[in-house]
């Protein structure tokens, strides 16, 4: 993304003093954010977190400022924390964006029948809490003939699908090239990576929720309570900017399964779709399937008039 001609990747991350001041003041009054640093340390100690780990997390710099050694220490701390809190040994990595890659998604509305298996796969792959509406994907059940999202049922009841006189519109983070969420964050805890994925540094997020308000695609969610995941369901293969276990009081979103896609794999939602409605790939590869879709189908993007330039397209076979 560019603001005033400067690439977001080249911008200097915010002064850490500003972020710590805002978090100490509890901007946005998120759950647990009204507490000062001393209270946070006491709470962490009560949970069995060693003082050294608590201090390290509290004083940790912005991810983009951290040295390789500091990042490695943070990864090992996250692994220790997961072992203490969940009794599960995870591996947390920070694989960098692949060169000459810009990820994008296309969705065939003719094939989507509303099974919501994409949501189930996303929850499991990305260690999302199993309570509340923390799904990074929502499948909107729309009346036939209507394109009004206000008329759609965003959380339709379980049952056989597709239902008569209905069609289905999956929505998630659209990984915009001009993401309003990034512009809204007062501490730049969220930014766009060179491969096009908009990420969050959960340790830098202050939980103000400005990004959620600014997102026109309902792509961000706030952890109001400590995420609850049965230990046997935790995915141990994690990424610092992706599916590592999150704390209460931070934002969450789709990351195109960064822990998978940067290893050359497909997102969990795409693999789980029983009808093949989801197409994912590298927009910079002229031979990729998604480039063929964009070149040969009548594609469109939601709310294009807003100028966010999503990298998420829709099309149909009709």
Per residue in 85-115, pLDDT tens? 999 999 999 999 999 999 999 999 999 999 9
DSSP letter for each residue of 125-185: HTT--SSSS--S-EEEEEETT---GGGSBTTPPSSSSSPTTEEEEEE-----SS-HHHHH-
pLDDT surpassing 70 at residue 32? no
Highest-confidence segment of 125-139, 177-191, 223-237: 177-191
Question: Tokens standing for 312?
Answer: 């998420």
Classify residue 126 as exposed, middle or buried by CB count within 10 Å of its CB (0-12, 13-18, 19+).
buried
**Bridge-partner residues for 153, per DSSP?**
141
Dihedral of alpha carbons 79, 82, 84, 87, sign:
negative
pLDDT confidence of 1, banded at 50, 70, 90? very low
Give the per-residue pLDDT at 227: 83
Q: What's the predicted TM-score (pTM) here?
A: 0.86
Per residue in 124-164, pLDDT tens? 999 998 876 679 999 999 999 999 999 999 999 999 999 99
pLDDT surpassing 60 at residue 38? no
User: Tokens 């308000």, residue?
Assistant: 213
Give the per-residue pLDDT at 226: 83
**pLDDT (average), residues 65-94:** 97
Answer yes or no: are the C-beta atoms of 97 and 91 closer than 8 Å: no
pLDDT confidence of 47, banded at 50, 70, 90? low
Find, among 317, 294, 126, the residue nearest to 223 by Cα: 126
Give the per-residue pLDDT at 225: 86
Find, among 186, 195, 184, 197, the residue nearest to 242 by Cα: 197
Domains observed in the chain: 95-318 (3.30.70.20)
pLDDT surpassing 70 at residue 26? no
């Amino acid at each position: 993304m560019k603001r005033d001609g400067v690439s977001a990747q080249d911008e200097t991350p915010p002064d850490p003093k500003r972020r710590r001041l805002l978090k100490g003041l509890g901007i946005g009054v998120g759950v647990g954010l009204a507490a000062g640093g001393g209270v946070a340390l006491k709470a962490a100690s009560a949970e069995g977190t060693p003082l050294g780990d608590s201090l390290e997390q509290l004083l940790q710099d912005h991810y983009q400022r951290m040295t390789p050694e500091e990042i490695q220490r943070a990864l090992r701390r996250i692994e220790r924390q997961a072992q203490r809190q969940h009794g599960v040994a995870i591996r947390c990595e920070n694989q960098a964006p692949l060169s000459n890659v810009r990820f994008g998604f296309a969705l065939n509305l003719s094939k989507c029948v509303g099974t919501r298996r994409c949501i189930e796969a996303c929850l499991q792959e990305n260690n999302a809490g199993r309570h509340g509406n923390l799904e990074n994907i929502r499948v909107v059940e729309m009346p036939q003939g209507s394109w009004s999202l206000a008329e759609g049922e965003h959380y339709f009841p379980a049952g056989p699908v597709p239902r008569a006189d209905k069609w289905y519109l999956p929505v998630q983070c659209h990984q915009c090239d001009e993401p309003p969420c990034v512009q809204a964050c007062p501490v730049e805890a969220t930014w766009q990576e060179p491969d096009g994925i908009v990420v969050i540094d959960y340790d830098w997020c202050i939980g103000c929720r400005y990004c959620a308000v600014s997102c026109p695609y309902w792509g961000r969610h706030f952890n109001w309570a400590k995420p609850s995941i049965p230990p046997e369901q935790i995915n141990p293969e994690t990424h610092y900017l992706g599916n590592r276990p999150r704390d209460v009081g931070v934002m969450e979103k789709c990351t195109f399964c960064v822990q998978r896609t940067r290893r050359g794999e497909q997102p969990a939602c795409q693999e789980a779709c029983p009808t093949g409605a989801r197409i994912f790939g590298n927009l910079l590869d002229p031979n990729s399937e998604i480039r063929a879709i964009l070149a040969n189908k009548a594609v469109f993007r939601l709310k294009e008039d807003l100028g966010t330039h999503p990298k998420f397209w829709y099309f149909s076979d009709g």
